[in-house]
Structure 1
């Protein structure tokens, strides 16, 4: 139901973003709302916003751990840890790449780093997540160019503040979108 409301929130003659942000902030104050927004990646997925989403789930960790979830694998009950790895593994890999710690510890580390991240911190997180994005972006026509670290740094540095904010969390899907945009631009040159 939350996703339907988020999709339908529109203010007459205005952009719906302020209402959507307020709606999300309100529902992140509940256990189920926190889990919903941490696992669905609706709206902007900036480092700052993702940090707030992960922090909300962490506040409700104990009660959420008591349930089993059907997430991405119909009919297969999963623990909270399994759900968070499936939904937020990208955040842990990009922002807290230490694999031996518990899921909760890695989420805490990722949320803490995201909350205080500079633009350069975000770029480094993006670089840690970029191999996964490149592996999933199978239809790139100029793969060698867009995979080049110098090209990536140049393009990331040239993003305006709003565009950079959108990818600053290093969500794989957003990075794939950037790669395809840049690949298409190269084809037009």
Structure 2
């Protein structure tokens, strides 16, 4: 049986303060994590957890952090913890350490939300499913806070934050649904978790028109925009390359469009 969850979001104390203070505390926490990881391959729990008062704002993206001297909850600075961790390990075996730290963080509400809103590394279908499912487990306490994402002064509810950050996942994996955001994310995550390669291709093809709206300077736009061309290229990708785009993340698909366009220029 899972332990009963608190009704409010709780976060490590090192994420609260001025920007410079949080930066210092986060890097120190990363060094502490690195020290334990070198000993036994695990990570220590935060020394102090604090309750985020209901309705208080959490900064989840650096672009909205323009008042550096104002004490605030700065969740986006998980990246500083990871930087301190990598530095403590002398930047050795970064990718396995990144994966292990993410798995550790997904067991907490704050960590699960960070890796959904600010995904790092290839956003494969399997990885995205794990992130979304972890976040959904903490839906109730996460609802107690409010969030600043990419738009100044636009304070968001959890549902609004997930719509703003994960609309690509819902559109690709749970299209044309009038269900609630929670239900759409849950259905999308479940479909990603059991997706075959063909399932991923269909999700990618649904998302390609969206990715194309962000593409600039393509020399062969008509070719790379053709679904038949896209399907042919996707079916020839090796397993590792396909996994990289299998989640149908807009950013990953945009990268692939530019790659195909460049290949056409050399043919």
Aligning the two structures, in what range does the TM-score lie when normalised by the shorter sequence?
over 0.9
Between the aligned partners of 2:176 and 2:139, the Cα distance in structure 1 is: 20
Between the aligned partners of 1:75 and 1:30, the Cα distance in structure 2 is: 27
Between the aligned partners of 1:75 and 1:136, the Cα distance in structure 2 is: 25
Compare relative contact order (CA 8 Å, sep 6+) and give the higher one, 1 or 2.
Answer: 1
Between the aligned partners of 1:131 and 1:153, the Cα distance in structure 2 is: 13
Q: Which residue of 1 aligns with 2:74?
A: none
Q: RMSD across aligned C-alpha pairs, in angstroms?
A: 1.4
Offset, 1:147: 1.0
TM-score (norm 2): 0.68
Between the aligned partners of 1:110 and 1:3, the Cα distance in structure 2 is: 26
Give the alignment partner of residue 181 of structure 2, picking from 88, 97, 103.
103
Assess, with a 3 A threshold, how the Cα gap between structure 1 residues 13 and 82 changes in structure 2: closer, same or farther. Answer: closer
Total equivalences in the alignment? 189
Q: Which residue of 1 aligns with 2:206?
A: 128
Contact 1:68–1:78 (Cα < 8 Å) also in 2: yes
Q: Which residue of 1 aligns with 2:225?
A: 147
Offset, 1:153: 1.0
Offset, 1:14: 4.4
Offset, 1:144: 0.8
Q: Show CA shifts across 1:54-111 (max 9, x none).
A: 0011000001011111111122210001100111000000000133110000000000
Q: Which residue of 2 aligns with 1:54?
A: 132
TM-score (norm 1): 0.95
For the residue of structure 2 that corresponds to 1:110, the secondary structure is helix
Q: Which residue of 1 aligns with 2:190?
A: 112
Assess, with a 3 A threshold, how the Cα gap between structure 1 residues 7 and 94 changes in structure 2: closer, same or farther. Answer: farther
Between the aligned partners of 1:160 and 1:101, the Cα distance in structure 2 is: 35
Q: Which residue of 2 aligns with 1:4?
A: 80
Offset, 1:21: 0.4
Give the alignment partner of residue 63 of structure 1, picking from 136, 141, 162.
141
- Structure 1 runs not aligned, ≥5 long: none
Whose helix fraction is larger, Structure 1's or Structure 2's?
A: 1
Shift >4 Å, 4+ stretches:
10-14
Matched, 1:166 2:244: yes
- Structure 2 runs not aligned, ≥5 long: 1-76
Q: Which residue of 2 aligns with 1:28?
A: 106
